[in-house]
């Protein structure tokens, strides 16, 4: 999980249709992962400034219709504030894990961006 938005008591209006549709499942997953909804181990967006300053350099990718997009943006903002963000992208026209179904429209976008990140930061 990237953020605590599904368990912090947000009203329905806060969520997109996709996020709201996945809310119950995400609440159940969060409960299985931890009974401590203030844990940065479960929700990295809660790590706070001191820990964010010590975080490794990070690449965050999400998709336009991802139920975790808002959480990824929150984490992006926290890490960027402390110069710990290498790269961030919201892949347009795709949804959560669309890259794992190779025939999905634009799955190649994820692989191309992943290759670019590897070439830029790992090679």
Strand intervals (E) in 6-123: 58-65, 85-95
SS3 44: helix
**pTM for this entry:** 0.79
Distance (Å, whole) CA 21 – CA 84: 32
Distance (Å, whole) CA 97 – CA 47: 25
Query: Residue ranges of the domains in the chain?
Result: 12-121
pLDDT band of 57, cuts 50, 70, 90: very high
Distance (Å, whole) CA 91 – CA 110: 7
Percent of the chain at pLDDT > 90 equals 37
Q: 107 or 77, which is more confident?
A: 77
| Structure letter (DSSP) for residue 110 | H
């Amino acid at each position: 999980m990237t953020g605590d938005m599904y368990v912090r008591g947000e009203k329905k209006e806060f969520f997109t249709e996709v996020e709201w549709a996945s809310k119950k499942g995400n609440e159940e997953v969060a409960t299985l992962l931890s009974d401590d909804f203030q844990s940065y181990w479960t929700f990295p967006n809660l790590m706070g400034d001191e820990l964010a300053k010590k975080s490794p350099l990070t690449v965050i990718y999400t998709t336009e219709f991802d139920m975790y997009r808002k959480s990824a943006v929150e984490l992006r903002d926290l890490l960027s504030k402390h110069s710990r963000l290498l790269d961030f992208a919201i892949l347009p026209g795709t949804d959560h894990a669309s890259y794992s179904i190779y025939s999905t429209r634009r799955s190649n976008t994820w692989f191309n961006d992943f290759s670019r990140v590897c070439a830029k930061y790992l090679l």
